[in-house]
Amino acid sequence: MSLSENLQNQADDYLTDKLSVDAKKAFELLLQDNQELVDYISVNKEMQAHYNEEDWSFADKDAEVEGLESYLKSDDAKALKASIKKVNDRFVKESPSNKKNYFSYLAIAASVVFLIGYFVFNDSASNLELYENYNSWQELPSLISRGDVEDTTLAEAENAFVNKNYEKAHLFFDAYIQNSYTVAGTVLLYQGIVFLELNEYNNALTTFNELIESNSLDNSKGYWYKALTYLKMDDTDAAIATLNVLVSDTSNYNYSKAQELLEKLRD
């Protein structure tokens, strides 16, 4: 970074509200004409918002970072934090003339732990990525033949599905299934995927198992979509077990893709 040490020190004092009123006004005038300084402030504000020195927790605690947060609170993460702090304290002690760049230090330390957390929890990220890569619904056959208006419920269900209105699609599919003596395998397939999109995993698995156990020509498709469900659930072992059944017969649906996916899961 080409910012002088003096400017960086002023920026640190600005961020920690240590500048006098006049010094703060003068610094804010500098910000109007120095984009690099603006960027420096922006980055460090972001770190300050997301990083807490006491417990290494982060502001956005959604499902994707829960595993990483657990690691950050583990003994290994605490040991790493202590080591980084020890090196930093030694640097400050041995170089008293150099002001501690507090937020830059936090950025480096947090980045190190994020990288470690990424590799520790890379399997989960890979499963989700694989799910996104293989869950194409474009290959699904239409439920209604061209010109066939005999069953408007199925037509409404498919239309809602195509428009990604899965709650509405579920209602139509459920109504159709409840009022039918026999249900085609394709309908079960759509209904299972609807449950999958709604994150109702148990219902999705139950529906795909029903498809597998049916006499439908599409029954082997149940294994494929059941494996995708396990991927989204981040259950690698169950996904592998399901795919192993699918690849036991070369005539099964998506046999080649299942082999490819198995190789990626075993890497």
Q: Identify whether 102 is part of a domain.
A: yes
Overall number of domains in the chain: 2
Of the three residues 91, 120, 149, the one that is the final residue of a domain is: 120
pLDDT score for 255: 95
Question: Are 21 and 145 in a shared domain?
Answer: no
Same structural domain, 109 and 155: no
Query: Which pLDDT tens digit goes with each residue over 2-47?
Result: 667 788 888 888 888 888 888 888 888 888 878 888 878 877 776 6
Domain co-membership, 103 together with 191: no
114, 156: one domain:
no
- CA 93 and chain centroid, separation: 42
Q: What is the pLDDT of residues 104-133, one digit of tens each?
A: 555 555 555 555 554 544 444 478 888 988
Mean pLDDT of the 87-96 span: 51
Q: Is residue 125 part of a domain?
A: no
Token digits of residue 83:
């080591």
Task: Indicate if 50 and 140 belong to the same structural domain.
Answer: no
Q: What is the pLDDT of residue 7?
A: 80
Is 68 inside any structural domain? yes
* Dist. CA 209–CA 229, nearest whole Å: 12
Indicate if the alpha-carbon torsion angle 240, 241, 247, 251 is positive or negative: negative
Per-residue model confidence as pLDDT tens digits over 63-72: 445 555 565 5
Task: Tell me which residue of 216, 194, 218 sits closest to 206, measured CA to CA.
Answer: 194
Q: What is the pLDDT of residue 196?
A: 95
Q: Is residue 146 part of a domain?
A: yes
Using CA atoms, how far residue 235 sits from 62, 194, 209, 265, in Å, is: 19, 20, 17, 11
Higher pLDDT, 36 or 77: 36
Which pLDDT tens digit goes with each residue over 143-202?
Answer: 876 444 457 888 899 999 999 999 999 999 999 888 887 788 889 999 999 999 999 999
pLDDT at residue 101 tops 90:
no
Structural domain includes residue 94: yes
29 against 93, higher pLDDT: 29
pLDDT of res. 48: 63
Angstrom distance (rounded) from CA 186 to CA 190: 6
DSSP secondary-structure letter at 165?
Answer: -
Are residue 11 and residue 100 in the same domain, yes or no? yes
- Distance (Å) of CA 28 to CA 24, 49, 102, 131: 6, 20, 20, 48
Nearest Cα residue to 236 out of 125, 133, 71? 125
With vertex at residue 31, the alpha carbon angle to CA 26 and CA 32, rounded to the nearest 5 degrees, is 100
Query: What phi and psi, each to the nearest 5 degrees, are found at residue 100?
Result: -65, 125
- What is the domain extent for residue 41? 5-120
| 40 and 144 fall within a common domain | no
Please tell me the distance from the alpha carbon of residue 114 to that of residue 122, in angstroms, as a whole number. 11
pLDDT recorded at residue 257:
94
| Pair 49, 107 in one domain | yes
Residue 203 has pLDDT above 50, yes or no: yes
pLDDT exceeds 70 at position 89: no
Q: Does 261 lie in the same domain as 142?
A: yes
The two structure tokens encoding residue 51: 């990083």
**Residues 231 and 103 reside in one and the same domain:** no
Q: Of 86, 120, 154, which marks where a domain is finished? A: 120
pLDDT top residue among 79 and 160: 160
Does residue 230 fall inside a structural domain? yes
Residues 89, 22 within the same domain: yes
